Amino acid sequence: MSEATVKETPAVPRARTQNGTASGALDSENGTTTIDDAVVAKIAGLAAREVSGVFDMGAGAARAMGTVRGIVGADKSVTQGVSVEVGERQAAVDLDLVVEYGTAIPDLAGAVRKNVVSAVERMCGLEVTEVNIKVDDVHVPGQRSEETPKKEPRVQ
C-alpha cells in the first residue's frame, strides 16, 4: 500500500574519538565510557517505533503485560519487543514487531533496520552488526485488539 517512512528526528552528533572514527568503548587518555545494554535497547526501541507502519512491539505475552501496565497507570516500556547484545565495539539487535495492515513488510523491515542502525551508531558509537526482525502480528484498523481488555461498566 504505502512505503514505510521514517519520521524526522533532530540531528544528534555521532560519538567520535580523537581520530574522528566511532568507537564503542569510547576510550581516551582520560578514561573509558561504557554503554549499558538497557541504553542500547531503549534507543533501538524508540528508533523502531519512529517508523511509519510499526503499530506496536513485542510478542503477544509482552503486549498483554504492557496493557496491564497501562491499566494500572504505568508507562509502556520502550524496550518491549527489543533484545540486544552489546560488546565493546559492536551491538546486535532483535526486534518483535506488530505491523499496520497494508504496510509492505519488506519495505518496513528495511526502514526499521536503517533507522535503528543509524540511531544506535550515531548515539552510541557502536557498530551494529545485525538487526533481526520478527513480525508477530498485523494490526487491522477497527478490529478489536487482543490485548485491549473489555471494560465492564463501573456502575449499574
Chain segment 126-145, per-residue pLDDT in tens:
999 999 999 999 999 887 65
Residue 1 lies in a domain: no
Indicate the number of domains in the chain: 1
Q: What angle do the packed helices 37-49 and 105-124 form, to 10 degrees? A: 140
37-70 residue pLDDT tens: 999 999 999 999 999 999 999 986 544 555 555 5
Listed in sequence order, the DSSP H helices in the chain are 37-49, 60-71, 105-124
Residue 19 lies in a domain: no
pLDDT at 28: 79
pLDDT at 59: 82
Residue 7 lies in a domain: no
∠ CA 22-24-30 to the nearest 5 degrees?
Answer: 85
State the residue range of the domain holding 58. 37-139
* Residue 101 near residue 54 (C-beta atoms within 8 A): no
CATH number of the structural domain spanning residue 49: 3.30.70
Residue 63 lies in a domain: yes
Overall size of the chain counted in residues: 156
Residue 144 lies in a domain: no
Residue 13 lies in a domain: no
